[in-house]
Chain A
Amino acid sequence: MLEVTELCAGYLGHDVVHDVGFRVGDGEVVAIIGSNGAGKTTVFRAVAGLLRGRGTVTFGGEAIGGCKAHEVARRGLAFVPADRHLFPQMSVGENLDLGAYPMRPDRDRRQLVFDLFPRLAERERQAAGTMSGGEQQMLTVGRALMSHPRLVMLDEPTTGLAPKLAAEAYAALGRLRDHGLTIVVAEQQVPLALGLADRGYVLEDGRVQLAGTSAELAGNPDVQRAYLGVA
């Protein structure tokens, strides 16, 4: 469904990401793992249209390389950024409704989001800016789901989440995968990501260093040493 080839992107004329390529098939869960500063966020931002990059990005057979961010979103590619970008003075409900824009908010979808994240249901009228980090994270994911996306990209969804909440979040992602949603997730917390994903790519220094199924990656000694804390 999503195919990225030879992507180069960066800031202020200086490339941070070089010749990155990866594939995501329908219904798959793909993990992009790498340490801080590896370039994961840059890749996602370029795909989402928030950043100008060079290379080819194809989504559902259509080239979206030059599209602006809102066009990418309207085509069904939702991006859940690490720094959330919620609307602080709007309520949870209003944030979710905007996720559906320009379509009318779907009652059923909303209910699905509340089922996945009961805490959000409790705080429906609360201003998003006053919620805790974990709740905001859930809201960001929920907001992305409101538009019935075909693919969701999540950038380090567990940042700042206590282990229990992180596990809950991944459980929710698992349920979404069962619903047929295609997911790409960037993670530093590798065990969680590989536990959910079918395949993965290792990104370091702006380049794809390794690719394979999660089993292959988990079994790879370099990966184990670098990310799984195995000596």
Chain B
Amino acid sequence: MRAVVFDGIVLGLQFGLLGVGLTLVYGLGGVLNLAHGQIAVLGAIVTALRIDAGTPTVLAVLIGLAAAGAVALLLDVTLLVPVFRRTGESRVLLGLLLMLGVGFIIEGVLGWRYPIEALSLRIGGGPIDVLGVAMRSGALLASAIALGAAAGLVVFFRFTAFGKAVRSVIQDETGAQLCGVSPATVRAVVLTLSGVLAALVAVTRSMTGPVNVHAGVDLTILALIVAVVGGLGSVAGAFAAGVLLGIVNTISAHFIGSYITTIVLLGAAAVTIVARPAGLLGKGRE
């Protein structure tokens, strides 16, 4: 049982990281990035291509992360401009539909040009004992990275001036403007960050199993569920929800079955929306 829970935590930390990128972008401006998973996969595939070309792994990963971030930034300065010009439900709807389309385009292009490409990072070293449970080194590294990223985000949001500026835009965009914060700049940075985080998740996932070009949709849905349960717009909520759902996932998959597990996770999101839309820690933005 302990092994299952530990596996759940490992998975959950990645879930959390996945949800954070999505929740940040939504919290900023009401745009639901339905291409999140596809951007993650894009980063992974770029990494895989670079590794195939002989680039050392760490550098390849950094290039992949940068690529994902760049794509996200590109979207911010092009397609999302008309989206942010609108307000309220009009913005939400347009953003959602546009990003849905972008997700298709990215997946289509990747699948067309690199149909058999996949990222799989083999982490050497035998299993390591953690509190009596033998954990794969890949899983542990993935968790460490996720935790490191989480810590980095905490420091960024609580202690840096720009991080506080981002939080201010999320909490009250007009108030932020009156304080001299440029929402457009904040959005550009956060969007790039969300792309990098997404790709980071794909990379850590590849440490425990291959990530292929079609994994995007599943990742997007997962990110969506985690972000919703944690409360759209709450970074801490996304992590909390991630770990919780990760444990639920592994327990359910272990004892019941994979189809039910998916239904349970989807149900968690639906129930959250219906019963407590603010999610675990959200600020009730809707």
Contact = CB atoms under 8 A, between A and B. Distances in A.
A/B: CB atoms within 8 Å of each other: yes
Interface of A: 48-50, 68-71, 73-74, 78-79, 81, 84-90, 94, 97-99, 101-102, 104, 143-144, 147
Contact of B179 (A68, A71, A73): A73
B120 to A, nearest CB: 41
17 contacts: A50-B177, A69-B174, A70-B179, A70-B181, A71-B182, A73-B178, A73-B180, A74-B180, A87-B167, A87-B176, A88-B172, A89-B167, A97-B164, A98-B168, A101-B180, A101-B181, A102-B165
A189 B231 CA distance: 41
Contacts of B167: 87, 89-90
A59 B129 CA distance: 67
A94 B180 contact: no
Contacts of A87: 167-168, 171-172, 175-176
B168 A90 contact: yes
Contacts of B183: 70
Given A87-B175, A101-B161, A101-B181, 19 more contacts: A48-B178, A68-B177, A69-B177, A70-B180, A70-B182, A71-B182, A73-B179, A84-B175, A87-B168, A87-B176, A88-B171, A89-B283, A90-B167, A94-B164, A98-B165, A98-B176, A101-B180, A102-B165, A147-B180
A86 B172 contact: yes
Contacts of A104: 161
B158 to A, nearest CB: 9
B172 A99 contact: no
Contacts of A101: 161, 164-165, 168, 179-181
Contacts of A81: 174, 178
Contacts of A69: 174, 177-178
B81 to A, nearest CB: 14
Given A87-B167, A90-B167, A97-B164, A102 B180 contact: yes
A142 B177 CA distance: 16
B88 to A, nearest CB: 13
A84 B174 CA distance: 9
A104 B182 CA distance: 16
Interface string B193-232: 0000000000000000000000000000000000000000
B177 A98 contact: no
Contacts of B177: 49-50, 68-70, 73
A79 B177 CA distance: 10
B163 to A, nearest CB: 11
Contacts of A68: 177, 182
Nearest to B175: A85
B169 to A, nearest CB: 9
B179 A143 contact: yes
A72 to B, nearest CB: 9
Contacts of B283: 88-89
B172 A98 contact: no
A69 B164 CA distance: 18
Contacts of B179: 70, 73, 98-99, 101, 143, 147
Nearest to B161: A101
